[in-house]
Structure 1
Amino acid sequence: MGSLQLKSIRKAFGPHEVLKGIDLEVQDGEFVIFVGPSGCGKSTLLRVIAGLEDATSGSVRIDGAEVINTPPAKRGIAMVFQSYALYPHLTVKDNMGLGLKQAGTEKAEIDTRVAKASGMLSLDPYLARRPAELSGGQRQRVAIGRAIVREPKLFLFDEPLSNLDAALRVQTRLEIAGLHRRLKATMIYVTHDQVEAMTLADKIVVLNAGAIEQVGSPMELYNKPANVFVAGFIGSPQMNFIPAEKLGQTGAKTIGVRPEHIALSRESGDWKGKVIHVEHLGADTIVYLETEATGLLTVRLFGEHAYAPDDVVFATPDRASLHRFDANDRAIV
């Protein structure tokens, strides 16, 4: 079991309030990801859950038990950091089992748990090696294995893929997703990378300036953002925002349209403009254009398209996919 309830969590460093009353419920077995810009409080919130930071006020319950005054080692959590934090003089096997050894677990039980975790993470060939003999991806798998052997109630991940190159990030992301399915464990994961969030999470928590902007599944946040902040943060390239008055729209302050929900034509369309830059990505073509009606507009086209700077084009949005926001930047349903 690994449910989590946060109630009115506040954290201040002197006069600076980093967390401003966080309320959140995580169900047993959920994969929940905290996202948000740098400085929004996501890592601080994870550290409060772990007990590595003391909350200024509020309640943290794990499986219904209040742990706000419980030391980290007794909370039933295991944490994987951005840095691997492996002991260089110990083998992979000893690194993975060290926490259990320090807790007084019998050697036979340590060997059993290490073997099980090693099998899950394909680390069997490396058990006798030391960290210096491993790649970055292998070291991160050892750090994850060290967490698995503890059989915690909660797995906490703090930007675990940040030190890996692009290919290893994808590979390790797949391994973490598979691990979650096999373990059926509760995982809370912090990242600034929305691709990680969209591809891994059951539930995403979008944080901004110490407060929760929205909680929902990846597609809920993509299709029904609660406000301009969430709409602009989720999705790549970012949603286009156009003052409603420029489009003659009433009852709204801002109109949002995602780049993939705009069609381009050389012959006709709603908004006439000039191409200012094109990114040819193979699978996609990203076209940036300037139109009198909208200003700068980003358009995402699937596949390869032969647009070039200074081309005159016409853009037409999918009317059914427009997002409308009020004067307070809240979505209008």
Structure 2
Amino acid sequence: MTALTLTNVNKSFGTVEVLKDINIEVEDGEFVVFVGPSGCGKSTLLRVIAGLEDVTSGEVRIGGELMNLTPPSKRGIAMVFQSYALYPHLNVRKNMSLALKQEGQSKQVIEQRVAKASKMLNLEPYIDRFPSELSGGQRQRVAIGRAIVREPKLFLFDEPLSNLDAALRMNTRLEIANLHQQLDASMIYVTHDQTEAMTLADKIVVLRDGHVEQVGSPMELYNNPANQFVAGFLGAPSMNFIPASLIGDSAGTTLGIRPEDLYLTDDGPLTANVTHVEHLGGDTNVIAMMQNHQITARLFGQHQVNAGEPVRFGYTQDRTYRFDPQGARLI
């Protein structure tokens, strides 16, 4: 069964078109990530699904039922926001159970659901603490637990890790992935972080300027990007783009090479001057200028390369991409 279907969804604020002819399907149990730069419309799209914004035109169906005129509380969804939005005067137990009390659930049901969610999220030692007594990561887990206890048809996450430091982001990301496996629930997750998208998603929806650029699994999009925008957005460091004319090839086209497909060699076809070297321990990123075009090589292991040195790069021929002047994929 399809958990969510968006058909020709458009959203405008006055004369400003924010979402333009969006068509997406989310299957039962699927983890779908909306990703794109700031201002691309991903959070607005999530709010449309939640019912916090009305569609200008098109259809929103959850579990096959038309939801255009259904209020958020009746859509069978639970939303986790970037801000934890916890009640400071309520402890963890009461924050997680409040929505169930408002629904009129029995005391037994409330206790069972809160206990189950607390165990899944390792919140049992903190169940009687108040938000001010918790770390950022713990508060975010409480917010997620508050969504879990409602047993929704669809979970919606709006950049839930943005307020966490790097270590907590990674840990919480793993917790969300484990949570998805345990619940086997349909989840939609909004982020601008392509690493989160690549590591969490069953399916990624790449958005730009209110349009869907491409939909597919993480590796489908990574290996077969539809256009230059998708190719450059997914991957860290991002794909290198250089005029094909710099290697004596077709004028007017752009050659795309991922950093991991470049390597140092004495007789390589690409000549550049090193401007910066990032020693990451297991990897070395070499940033260089090639006739006013910056390129990055991601080299496995440790390499003694210094800024200011001339270098030559080779590249894996069957791992290159070609784009026309408008950014459309050629090969």
Normalised by the length of structure 2, the TM-score is: 0.97
| 1:33–1:205 contact (8 Å) kept in structure 2 | yes
How far 1:174 sits from its partner (Å)? 0.5
Deviation at 1:268, TM superposition (A): 2.2
Deviations 1:51-102 (A, max 9, x none): 0011111100011100011000000000000000001111100100000001
Match for 2:319 among 318, 321, 330? 321
Gaps of 5+ in 2: none
Say if 1:252 and 1:324, in contact at 8 Å, map to a contact too. no
- Determine the C-alpha separation between the residues in 1 that align with 2:290 and 2:111: 65
Q: Is the 8 A contact 1:9 1:23 kept in 2?
A: yes
For 1:305, the equivalent position in structure 2 comes to 303
After TM superposition, the structure 1 = structure 2 runs for residues 156-171 of structure 1, keeping only pairs within 5 Å, are 156-171=156-171
Equivalent-residue separation in structure 1 for 2:62 and 2:293 (angstroms)? 49
Give the aligned partner of residue 239 of structure 1: 239
Letter in 1 for 2:272: G
Paired letter, 2:36: G
Give the letter for the 1:286 counterpart: N
One-letter code aligned to 2:101: K
1:120-178 deviations in Å (ceiling 9; x for gaps):
00111111111111111000000000000000000000000001111111110010000
Residue pair 1:153, 1:186 contacting (<8 A) in 2 also: yes
Deviations 1:208-254 (A, max 9, x none): 00000000111111110000000110011111111122323238711
- Tell me which residue corresponds to 2:270: 271
Give the Cα separation in 1 of the matches to 2:330 and 2:317: 15
- RMSD over aligned CA atoms reads 1.3
Aligned residues: 331
Where does 1:12-91 land on structure 2 (aligned, <5 Å)? Answer: 12-91=12-91
Counterparts of 1:73-222 in structure 2, within 5 Å, are 73-222=73-222
For residues 66 and 248 of structure 1, the distance between their equivalents in structure 2, rounded to whole angstroms, comes to 56
Q: List runs of 5+ in structure 1 lacking aligned partners.
A: none
- C-alpha distance in structure 2 between counterparts of 1:250 and 1:2, whole Å: 45
Instruction: Tell which deviates more after alignment, 117-126 or 296-305.
Output: 296-305
Once residues 159 and 290 of structure 2 are traced to their aligned partners in structure 1, the CA distance between those partners, rounded to angstroms, is: 39
Once residues 33 and 320 of structure 2 are traced to their aligned partners in structure 1, the CA distance between those partners, rounded to angstroms, is 27
- Supply the distance in 2 between the matched residues of 1:228 and 1:314 (Cα, whole angstroms): 25
Residue number among 292, 295, 313 corresponding to 2:293 in the alignment: 295
Aligned partners of 1:252 and 1:325 also within 8 Å: no
SS of the counterpart of 1:20?
A: strand
Alpha-carbon separation, structure 1, partners of 2:127 and 2:197 = 31
Deviations 1:295-319 (A, max 9, x none): 3221111121110011121111110
What is the TM-score normalised by the length of structure 1? 0.97
Q: Distance in 2 between matches of 1:225 and 1:2?
A: 26
- Share of identical aligned residues, percent? 64
Greater CA drift, 71-80 or 298-307: 298-307
The alpha-carbon distance between structure 1 residues 15 and 201, as it changes in their structure 2 partners (threshold 3 A), is same
Q: Is the contact between residue 2 and residue 185 of structure 1 (CA under 8 Å) also seen in structure 2? A: no
Q: State whether residues 51 and 70 of structure 1, in contact with CA within 8 Å, keep that contact through their aligned partners in structure 2.
A: yes
